[in-house]
Amino acid sequence: MKESKRRGGIGKPGILLMVGLLSAAAWPAQLTIRADQPKDTIAPEIYGHFSEHLGRCIYDGIWVGEDSPIPNIRGIRTDVLEALKALNIPVLRWPGGCFADEYHWKEGIGPRDRRPKMVNTHWGMVTETNAFGTHEFLDLCELLGCQAYIAGNVGSGTVEEMQDWVEYMTFDGDSEMANLRRANGREKPWKVKYFGIGNENWGCGGNMTPEYYSDLFKRYATYVRNYSGNQIVKIACGPGGIDYNWTEVVMKNCHRHMDALAQHYYVRGTGTWGPNEKGSATQFDEKEWFALMKNSLEVDEVIRKVKEIMDKYDPRKRVALFVDEWGTWWDAEPGTNPGFLYQQNTLRDALSAGIFLNIFNRHCDRVRMANIAQTVNVLQAMILTEGNKMVLTPTYHVFEMYKVHQGGRLLPTELTCEDYGFNNQKVPALHVSASKGKDGAVYVSICNLNPNQPAPLNCNVEGFKIGSATGRVLTAETMQAHNTFEKPNTVKPAPLDGIQVKDGKISLTLPARSVSVLKIVQ
């Protein structure tokens, strides 16, 4: 031992440690993609968004008004509009959220200077001017080229009010509501594909039991009619988080009357749901990083159990599952109105988003829509604005990278990889989904959850002759990295270097704490 030490050698424990490190380096993760076994289509709507009258999502975030010095198209911010169009945004949900069940749509039509004001009781007790209403929202959807998803008021609204709203928007004939629409400047009706019968009616939407809501759903849904060739997908309120009894009761009582069931699922890095235990968006350590990765992965099991309940009553899978609110939820940024839910967005949020989207892709037989909360300036936002300034968040970049999956066919994957462990807990270090695009390419999205170690990877694609492979990666020097108005490009996609194709297989190394997307062509 003394001689070994003198020569700079190492003892037995050191030798075992070195062997372990060399073994880890010598055994890269193994990924097999079954390109010869395509499954269901990944609905583009899985990459949907959510905009609520909450904080600065609508006002300042999307709507600035025609007279604003900020460049706009009919009052809608041009910079935000162009950024969202670059995502191929497929569907936008509005006006809530909790706001939906206190929103009365007739207050948001007609000349803006005559629209009555209201108090936004859920979000900061601020005055809602109703400057952004039905016409403005549907104009936004047309500018984006996306489908409209409107959440109707069951909590404080009437059946007649909901029926009138659908008629106002979609009827092309001669009626009081259609003529009122024309008087307000829209001759032809809109196409409105998605309509939610209430929102979170177990909580802010009325504190109802699932039995009571089931009866209300069937009553209200009866009067959500298809006018003038418009075909509405009727969406029932599902649970928030884990409440399998709500899912069971509503599916049992309403599955013949609904087209989709909504599910809400938020995650955080503390593992708790107390009002003051969300944690900071930017000030966190590896314990909270690991907790968020673990909590994000758990949505897979939640969806599996929800699907089992839905399969019991709908074995043909006619009824879709819409995860129409999801994302990370942190404490509001210091110095901002806590009721506005304005939070920063780091690389940690990007990894969580990548995990969620991979899971939604893999469950695309039932999950046919998902709407991240929210689009601008609220919760896990795509975009942050401040006056005339705008910044894209790390989560935005994940959506931009993953848009290649929209409309592709899900491909089965088999992944063997190292675990990422922290405090005697472990999760798989890598998380993946794959699809075959309409262009014939194979697309693979891979998250490396380990913030400390890169991951060598060997990839084989069955039933597909690999010609070449390229990739993009989103990572940064620290877990807490984020984009600010002063430094907007701290976290942004870059080419993924070092991809090699040899003997029909791909080898590469995934950086620590990264989201990568590969494109494989013949």
Residues 299 and 358 in one domain: yes
CATH of the domain at 483: 2.60.40.1180
Strand, coil or helix: what is 149? strand
Residues 368 and 516 in one domain: no
pLDDT category of residue 14 using cuts at 50, 70 and 90? very low
Residues 394 and 418 in one domain: no
Cα gap 331→342, rounded to integer Å: 8
**Within-domain flag for 10:** no
Domain boundary at 372, 406, 440, which?
406
**Within-domain flag for 18:** no
Domain boundary at 406, 431, 448, which?
406
Could you give the C-alpha distances from 297 to 39, 113, 301, 380, 405, in angstroms and in order?
22, 48, 8, 17, 20
**Residue 193 reports pLDDT greater than 50:** yes
**Within-domain flag for 13:** no
Q: Is 440 left (phi over 0), alpha (psi -120 to 50) or beta?
A: left
Residues 235 and 168 in one domain: yes
CATH of the domain at 126: 3.20.20.80
The pair of three-digit structure tokens given for residue 389, joined into one six-digit string: 């300034």
Instruction: Write the pLDDT tens digit of every residue in 414-446.
Output: 999 999 999 999 999 999 999 999 999 999 999
Indicate which residues carry an active-site annotation: 200, 325
Residues 361 and 415 in one domain: no
Cα gap 283→294, rounded to integer Å: 19
Residue that is written with structure tokens 């003394």 in the block: 2
The confidence score (pLDDT) of residue 470 equals 98
Domain boundary at 362, 390, 406, which?
406
Cα gap 363→366, rounded to integer Å: 6
The confidence score (pLDDT) of residue 4 equals 31
The pair of three-digit structure tokens given for residue 37, joined into one six-digit string: 């076994």
Cα gap 437→355, rounded to integer Å: 20
**Within-domain flag for 2:** no
Q: 185, exposed or middle or buried, with CB in 10 Å at 0-12, 13-18, 19+?
A: exposed
8 A C-beta contact, residue 433 and residue 362: yes
Instruction: Write the pLDDT tens digit of every residue in 101-135.
Output: 999 999 999 999 999 999 999 998 999 999 999 99
DSSP β-bridge partners for residue 462 = 34
Residues 355 and 370 in one domain: yes
Rounded CA Rg of the chain: 24
Residues 460 and 500 in one domain: yes
Cα gap 386→416, rounded to integer Å: 44
Instruction: Give the contacts of 4 (CB within 8 A, at least 6 positions apart).
Output: 10, 11
Domain of residue 217: give its range: 44-406
Cβ count near 220 (within 10 Å): 22
The pair of three-digit structure tokens given for residue 294, joined into one six-digit string: 């673990």
The confidence score (pLDDT) of residue 271 equals 59
DSSP β-bridge partners for residue 501 = 506
Continuous H helices in 72-114: 78-85
The confidence score (pLDDT) of residue 335 equals 94
The confidence score (pLDDT) of residue 86 equals 98
Residues 491 and 380 in one domain: no
Comparing CA positions, the residue from 45, 79, 77 lying closest to residue 58 is 77
Continuous H helices in 171-285: 176-183, 210-222, 244-254
Cα gap 117→51, rounded to integer Å: 20
In one-letter notation, the amino acid at residue 235 is I
Instruction: Write the pLDDT tens digit of every residue in 262-313.
Output: 999 999 987 555 556 799 999 999 999 999 999 999 999 999 999 999 999 9
**Within-domain flag for 373:** yes
**Residue 2 reports pLDDT greater than 50:** no
- Number of domains into which the chain is organized: 2
Cα gap 345→480, rounded to integer Å: 9
Alpha-carbon dihedral sign for residues 166, 172, 173, 174: positive
As a whole number, the mean pLDDT across the chain is 93
Interaxial angle between packed helices 286-297 and 299-313, expressed in degrees from 0 to 180 and rounded to the nearest 10: 10
